Chains A and B, each alone.
Chain A
Amino acid sequence: MAEISLKNIEKRYGEKTRVVKDVSFDVHDKEFLVLVGPSGCGKSTTLRMIAGLEDITSGELYIDGKLVNDLPPKDRDIAMVFQNYALYPHMTVHDNMAFGLKLRSTPKSEINARVRQAAKILGLEDLLKRRPKALSGGQRQRVAVGRAIVRKPKVFLFDEPLSNLDAKLRVQMRTEISRLHNDLEATIVYVTHDQTEAMTMGDRIVILRDGNIEQIDTPLNVYNHPVNKFVAGFIGSPAMNFVEGKVVNQDGTYFVSSDGLFKLILKPNGFPHLNQFLDRKIILGVRPEDIHIGGEESNSGFTANIDVLEPMGNEIFVYFKMNDEQIVARLPSATDAEVGGSLNLIFDRGKLHFFDPESEEVIRE
C-alpha cells in the first residue's frame, strides 16, 4: 500500500514568488499519476516537495496516511529518477544500484540478489562492472531506474526521465517504464512536459499551469472533455484549433467566425447550452482529426485554401487560415491536396468544444 495525499500544498520563495499555489490531489495505491504542464508550471517543484528535496511552505503532505512534511528524503521510503540520470560517476553500475541499500545496512547477499534481479529486468547484466561514463544515454537511464527499483520503495518519482534521450529511445523507454509499472505494481508520480508521455503512460493526468491545477482526470477524459481552453490546447498533438466568433440568430442559430467568412449551423441539431451566448463572443475548439473532407456550404462545409502540407506517411496535416489564425486538419494520406489549392472541409459537429472567451472555461452542456 502506498498512497500520497497533498492537501493545500504551497511553495513560495520569499513573499511574492508563489511557485505552487494551494495544490491538492491524491495519488492512489499502484497508480501511475502524471504531472504535466509547460515549463515553470510548478510540476517539478511539486515532485521535489513530495521527495523532500524542497521545503513545503504550507499545506500537508501524507504518504500512507503519515504526515511527512518535515521528514528528510531518506526516511520517506521513496526513490527518484532524475532527468540527467544523476548516477555517481566514480561508482560502477553495480555500486550505483547497491549504494542506497548499503546505506540502509541491507545484508550483502540480499543486495547482490536485488541488483542482479534489477539488472536482469532492465537488461543491464553485462554492464554491471562499467562506470556511467562508458554507457550510452539509454543505458544510463536504465541504471537510474535500476537504482530506484532495487530499493523497493513505496513510491517512485520520475522527474522528466526521458527528455535527454533521442526520439526512438524515448518511445522504447516509455513502454519499458509502463511495463515496469505493471510488473512492480508500484505507485508512480511522473513529471513531464511532453503531453504524449502523459497521455500514453498515465492512469490519471494532473495538468498544471502557473502553480495551479487546471484539471485532474484520466487521459481520455482530459482529451475528450477538457475543462478549459488551456487544457484543450495543451493536450493533443497537433494541438486543438481555436476559432473566435459569435453566436448569431439568422433563420436559425449559427456560429459565425470573427471575419464572417465561416458559418456553422448550430440549430436545430442541438447546442441549447449556447443560447446564453447569443450575440456574444465565443471560442470554438476543434481537434485536427475532427475536421473531415466534404460537406456542402448549406451543411456548414467550407472551402480551405491550403498554406502548408505536412505528409506524415500514414496521414497528412493540412494547414489553412481561418480568422487569420492557422488551423490544422489531420486527413488521410490519400487526400488529393496541394499547396495553394483548396479543399472542401467540414467540422465534426458532434465533437466541437466551446469556450467562454473571458474565463476560457468550457461551456458545458
Chain B
Amino acid sequence: MKNLALYLILVVGALAFIYPFYWMTMASLVPEGDISGLTLLPTTITFDSYLQMFEKIPIDRAFFNSIFVASSVTAGVLVFCSMVGYALAKLRFTGRNLIFYVIIFTMTLPFQITLIPNYILMVKFGWIDTYLALIIPYLINAFAIIMFRQAFLTIPQDLIDAARIDGCGELRIIFQILWPNIIPSLVTVGIITFMATWNEVLWPLIVIRDENLMTMPQLVTLFAVGGRAESQLGVKLASATLLALPIIVAYLFFQKYFIQSMASTGLKD
C-alpha cells in the first residue's frame, strides 16, 4: 500500500515533467492551426514547421557549431580540469589548499559579474566572432575541478606510486592509470559540461554576430523572439525540439554512469 502511494506520486511527478516536452514535440508536428486545440494525440502529422524552419534559418550550420563548440569545451574541461584536480588531490606543494579555496570561491561569483571583463578580454584578443571566444573561456571550471579532485582523492596513493616506479610520468598517470578508474566522474562532468555549453545563450549572444558562427540556442532564441518566426508557434517549437534532442539522446546513452556517479559518495571497494 505504501509502495503504491509512492509509485503514484512518482508517476504524477514524472508526467508533470514529461508533458511539456511531449506537448512541444507534438505541437511541432501538427499544422499551425491545430496547435491551440492540442492536448494529447494529434489528428494530423506534418513536418511543415521543420521545413519552414530550415528555409528561414541556417539551423544545420548552427547545429554543427553547437556540436563543435560543446565537444571542444567538454574535451578541454575533461583534460584540463582533471589535471588541476589531480594536482590538488595528489601532489604536495605550498599553497595547495589556498588555491583550492580560491577555486571554490570563484563558484560564488555569478556569471553576470565576469561578463563585461570577459567581453573586454575577448575584444582585446580579437576573438569576437570566432570559435575561440566560445571555447577558450570555458575550458576550466571550478565545478569540474572539484569533481575530479574528489574522485582522485578516493584513489590510493600506492597506485600512483606503483605507476611512477613502472615508469609513468604525471600525464600518463592521469590519463592512462587514473582516468580508466574514474569513468563515472568523467561521464558526469562530460554530460554536465556538454549540457551547460550546449544550452548557453547569453555569452554567444554577446561575442558572436556572424550568423554562420552562431550556436543553436543562440540562433533559435534570435529566431523565436527576434521576429523572424513571424509569430508562427509551430516553427518556434520545431526549433526548440531540435535544440533539446541531442541532450536527451546523450543522457539516455550515459544515464547509467550519470546516476552511478551522482549516487556514489566516495566509497570504493
Binding site for B on A (CB under 8 A): 48, 51-53, 72-74, 78-80, 82-90, 99-100, 103-104, 133, 147
Interface 1/0 per residue, B161-192 and A, CB below 8 Å: 11111111000100001001100000000000
- B residues less than 8 Å from A99 (CB atoms): 166
State how many angstroms separate the Cβ of B137 from the closest Cβ of chain A: 33
How distant is the Cα of A52 from the Cα of B163 in the complex, in angstroms?
Answer: 12
User: With A80-B162, A82-B161, A86-B158 in contact, is A100–B181 under 8 Å at CB?
Assistant: no
From A74, A84, A85, A133, give the contact of B166 (CB < 8 A): A74
How distant is the Cα of A80 from the Cα of B161 in the complex, in angstroms?
Answer: 9
Closest 6 interchain pairs by CB? A90-B180, A100-B166, A86-B158, A103-B167, A74-B167, A86-B162
Whether the pair B165, A78 counts as a contact (CB closer than 8 A) is yes
- B residues less than 8 Å from A84 (CB atoms): 156, 158
State how many angstroms separate the Cβ of B8 from the closest Cβ of chain A: 40
Say which size band chain B's interface belongs to.
10 to 19
- B residues less than 8 Å from A89 (CB atoms): 180-181
- B residues less than 8 Å from A48 (CB atoms): 161
Q: For residues 130 through 184 of chain B, which have their beta carbon under 8 Å from a beta carbon of chain A?
A: 156, 158-159, 161-168, 172, 177, 180-181
Binding site for A on B (CB under 8 A): 156, 158-159, 161-168, 172, 177, 180-181, 269
State how many angstroms separate the Cβ of B203 from the closest Cβ of chain A: 37
Whether the pair A73, B158 counts as a contact (CB closer than 8 A) is no
- A residues less than 8 Å from B161 (CB atoms): 48, 51, 53, 73, 80, 82, 86
A selection of 22 A-B contacts at a CB cut-off of 8 Å is: A48-B161, A51-B165, A52-B165, A53-B161, A53-B165, A74-B164, A80-B161, A80-B162, A80-B165, A84-B158, A85-B158, A88-B159, A88-B162, A88-B163, A89-B181, A90-B181, A100-B167, A103-B167, A103-B168, A103-B172, A133-B269, A147-B162
Closest to A99 in B: B166
- B residues less than 8 Å from A82 (CB atoms): 158, 161-162
State how many angstroms separate the Cβ of A299 from the closest Cβ of chain B: 56
State how many angstroms separate the Cβ of B178 from the closest Cβ of chain A: 10
Q: Report how many A-B pairs have Cβ atoms within 8 Å.
A: 55
Whether the pair B164, A53 counts as a contact (CB closer than 8 A) is yes
- A residues less than 8 Å from B165 (CB atoms): 51-53, 73-74, 78-80, 100
State how many angstroms separate the Cβ of B195 from the closest Cβ of chain A: 27
- A residues less than 8 Å from B177 (CB atoms): 88
State how many angstroms separate the Cβ of B108 from the closest Cβ of chain A: 32
State how many angstroms separate the Cβ of B185 from the closest Cβ of chain A: 14
Beyond known contacts A90-B180, A100-B166, A103-B166: 7 more, CB 8 A cutoff: A52-B164, A53-B161, A74-B165, A74-B168, A86-B161, A89-B180, A103-B167
Closest to A55 in B: B92
How distant is the Cα of A27 from the Cα of B79 in the complex, in angstroms?
Answer: 43
State how many angstroms separate the Cβ of A144 from the closest Cβ of chain B: 8
- A residues less than 8 Å from B158 (CB atoms): 82-86
State how many angstroms separate the Cβ of B132 from the closest Cβ of chain A: 35
How distant is the Cα of A85 from the Cα of B159 in the complex, in angstroms?
Answer: 8
Closest to A75 in B: B167
How distant is the Cα of A80 from the Cα of B162 in the complex, in angstroms?
Answer: 7
How distant is the Cα of A71 from the Cα of B130 in the complex, in angstroms?
Answer: 46
- A residues less than 8 Å from B163 (CB atoms): 88
- A residues less than 8 Å from B180 (CB atoms): 89-90
State how many angstroms separate the Cβ of A242 from the closest Cβ of chain B: 38
Closest to A76 in B: B165
State how many angstroms separate the Cβ of A207 from the closest Cβ of chain B: 25
How distant is the Cα of A53 from the Cα of B91 in the complex, in angstroms?
Answer: 12
State how many angstroms separate the Cβ of B44 from the closest Cβ of chain A: 53
State how many angstroms separate the Cβ of A159 from the closest Cβ of chain B: 8
Interface centre among A103, A133, A147 (most CB of B within 10 A): A103
Closest to A51 in B: B165
How distant is the Cα of A87 from the Cα of B159 in the complex, in angstroms?
Answer: 7
How distant is the Cα of A104 from the Cα of B167 in the complex, in angstroms?
Answer: 8
Closest to B269 in A: A133
State how many angstroms separate the Cβ of A174 from the closest Cβ of chain B: 21
Closest to B155 in A: A89
Whether the pair B156, A86 counts as a contact (CB closer than 8 A) is yes
How distant is the Cα of A201 from the Cα of B191 in the complex, in angstroms?
Answer: 53
- A residues less than 8 Å from B166 (CB atoms): 74, 99-100, 103, 147
State how many angstroms separate the Cβ of A322 from the closest Cβ of chain B: 45
Closest to A13 in B: B92
State how many angstroms separate the Cβ of B56 from the closest Cβ of chain A: 49
Interface centre among B165, B166, B177 (most CB of A within 10 A): B165
